[in-house]
Chain A
Amino acid sequence: MNKNLYDLVGLVVAVCFILALKGLSSPKSARRGNWIGAFGAFAATEVVFYSPGQTGNHKWLIIGAIAFGVIVGVPAARKIQMTQMPQLVALFNGVGGGAAALVAIVEYLKLGADASMADVVASVFTVIVGCVSFSGSVVTFLKLQEIMTTRPVVFPGGRFVIAATLVGVLGSGEWVIHSLGTTPLLVVAGLSLLFGILFVLPVGGADVPIVISLLNAFTGLTVAASGYVLQATVLIVAGTLVGASGTILTRLMAAAMGRSLFGTLFGAFTAKPQAAVEGGEARSVKSGSPDDVAILLNYAQRVVIVPGFGLAVAQAQHTVRELADLLAAKGIDVAYGIHPVAGRMPGHMNVLLAEANVPYEQLVEMEEINPTFPQTDVVLVVGANDVVNPAAKTTPGCPIYGMPILDVSSAGNVIFLKRSMRPGFAGIENELLYEPKTTLLFGDAKESLTKVVSALKAL
């Protein structure tokens, strides 16, 4: 294949990737967009075998390796539960970062003494960031899969160790650039892997999604840098697009949590919990039975359901939809108020509810639903806490202060489905629980909802 034709195919592939991301602007065009992206990726893989300069050596070994990757990747993608999506994304991201680092290492080994400075710097950059992305993603996966603790892992002097590792990474990177040796590159790779682990360990469970998004951006940049070394335009475009999307998502998520990215990564949540607690344990709450809840819902005109990760943990998506359908059949207006960080990655709750066949038109974003709460009779909070905690507005200094929340306190009645009085992830007492308009229904979200549904049917 001649070079011009090959480059032309590269351009088509780049356009496919742009269209794939553009398709995601609406749920209607999103699936087609993803197909276009997949087609682009397939085309890029296909034509590289015919690219100018391709020797055809090891062709069958390469094809075998691809087949093996397909055999591993496709069943994993098919079988994963939607609640486990963040883990899978983290893992896929990690292997992508690992692949980029390996490509850079091999390319570096072949560069030889006449390599240009730019190529060496780009290779070293790819090795560092790819390794960080790989080991960081693996730790993220272990945390989300709850193979290891989801709490921040902090050890004495941890910050100094992290800082020292980072200095080591940069120092050895410098060493590679000057010496062009193989050993220094392995030192860089090793230290980068270690840095990836150390950098994710202190991040708490609630902040892990931000890290996934950030590592995704990292992997994108490594792919772009590999593209520079290999002179492959497709890799530059694809990697940069991913870098941009990861950066935007990371910023959006940090904003949705009302915190700076820096604070997230360096442990804002390690601040003393309970900082906002004013009253003692003795304060009374109003707890109700499933029948009370059913009656409140039955006589409402408008109900908003606020789902949190507790709903997903209890696998109650289907039950909540059943309840919503039942209410809708009674002529009650039902909507879901979705906080941007509900679930474990941005937009995760939307996926979980979509899986339960909740039409996406009913999923209303925070800015749109907040003004409607005064006209809402009942808000049903299922397994959420911090995202409706008024302390984010009223208590300066508490860890979630400044985080935008769903303004449910302006609704007529608030029902909390909770397992216990334990505070949420951020460890802050929720004043809303003690308000006279609030009713609590204790128990597993799925069981409680099932009881409410049957009580409602009996009415």
Chain B
Amino acid sequence: MSNGLALLSIFVLSIFIGFEVVSKVSTTLHTPLMSGANAIHGVILVGAITVADRATSNLQLALAIVAVVLATINMVGGFVVTDRMLEMFKGKPRVRKEAEGVDAE
């Protein structure tokens, strides 16, 4: 299998995993899902570091360094804000059980 084809296979299989995993996310958590997914695409930082490392001119280096900064903001900020939101989603067992009775109807 050629390298390009291997990458394409990974891409196609990832589509299926993505749909499968995300369709099970509860609607309550759609906002954290969006910001969490947002943080995950911050991994473009890896790409930014790679191109910065291999830059052969000052222009390339400057663009790549800007990309590193932007990608870091995206990634680190995204995970921090998602954590802040999820921290608030704590179940409170102290609250009455009637709510469950309603759900079971």
Q: CA separation between A243 and B22, bound complex, in Å?
A: 11
* A30 in contact with B86 (CB, 8 Å): yes
- Chain B residues within an 8 Å CB radius of A33: 36
- Chain B residues within an 8 Å CB radius of A146: none
Q: CA separation between A231 and B50, bound complex, in Å?
A: 11
The B interface is mostly helix, strand or loop, or mixed, namely: helix
Chain B interface size band reads 35 or more
In this assembly, does A346 line the interface, its C-beta being within 8 Å of a C-beta of chain B?
A: yes
* B73 in contact with A95 (CB, 8 Å): yes
Task: Give B1-54 interface residues, CB cut-off 8 Å to A.
Answer: 3-4, 7-8, 10-11, 14-15, 17-19, 21-54
A373: shortest Cβ distance to chain B, in Å? 11
* B7 in contact with A228 (CB, 8 Å): yes
Q: CA separation between A74 and B46, bound complex, in Å?
A: 19
* A226 in contact with B47 (CB, 8 Å): yes
* B89 in contact with A55 (CB, 8 Å): no
- Chain A residues within an 8 Å CB radius of B59: 109
- Chain B residues within an 8 Å CB radius of A88: 35, 77, 81
- Chain A residues within an 8 Å CB radius of B45: 41, 44-45, 66, 99
- For A13, give the chain B residue with the smallest CB separation: B43
Q: Mark B41-71 against chain A: 1 for CB-CB distance below 8 A, else 0.
A: 1111111111111111101110111111111
Q: Mark A403-432 against chain B: 1 for CB-CB distance below 8 A, else 0.
A: 000000000000000000000000000000
In this assembly, does A235 line the interface, its C-beta being within 8 Å of a C-beta of chain B?
A: yes
* A44 in contact with B43 (CB, 8 Å): yes
* A44 in contact with B46 (CB, 8 Å): yes
* A102 in contact with B63 (CB, 8 Å): yes
B78: shortest Cβ distance to chain A, in Å? 5
Within 8 Å by CB of A62, from B17, B37, B53, B79, lies B53
* A96 in contact with B33 (CB, 8 Å): no
In this assembly, does A26 line the interface, its C-beta being within 8 Å of a C-beta of chain B?
A: yes
* A96 in contact with B47 (CB, 8 Å): no
User: Which residues of B are at the interface with A, using a C-beta cutoff of 8 A?
Assistant: 3-4, 7-8, 10-11, 14-15, 17-19, 21-57, 59-61, 63-92, 95-96, 98-103, 105
